[in-house]
Amino acid sequence: MNRLTEFLVGLLFGLGLILSGMTDPGKIIGFLDIFGNWDPSLAFVMMGAIAVGFVAFAIAKKRTTTILGGALRLPTASHIDKRLIIGSTVFGIGWGLAGFCPGPALVSMASGQIQALWFVSAMVAGMLAFEALERKR
């Protein structure tokens, strides 16, 4: 049952990304081009996602188990450090240059967009490089 639920939630998430335009690099670039031909439509998508997340976390904080009965593990970190700032900056630069965020890139790759395949390949390479560097630390 859990795998079916995971699949259905992932499918719903992917469809939401497609319908909202988050899988279209041109729309992402248009959103980030605040001094040019700015397209604010993704701001509404983000505000909707933040509202849903806010409500979901408010409900989750009052629970000890997930809806499916598993242990509920909410994030506990609350400090902002150099690693978080650098990681956020690199993430934002990559998003702005490529027009892809990781989730929409996976959906775009599955729908056959070749530029998404390149982005996901570079993202995986970066993740592997990070893991290798972390093991050396």
CA distance 102 to 135: 23
- Full pLDDT tens readout for the chain, 137 residues: 688 988 998 899 889 888 888 888 888 888 888 899 899 998 998 899 999 999 999 999 999 898 878 889 888 888 999 999 998 998 888 888 888 888 889 999 988 889 999 999 999 999 999 999 999 98
CA distance 108 to 102: 10
Q: What is the pTM of this model?
A: 0.71
CB atoms closer than 10 angstroms to residue 21: 17
Residue 136 is encoded by which pair of tokens?
């050396």
CA distance 18 to 118: 19
What pLDDT is recorded for position 48? 92
Please identify which residue in the block is written with the tokens 């390479």: 125
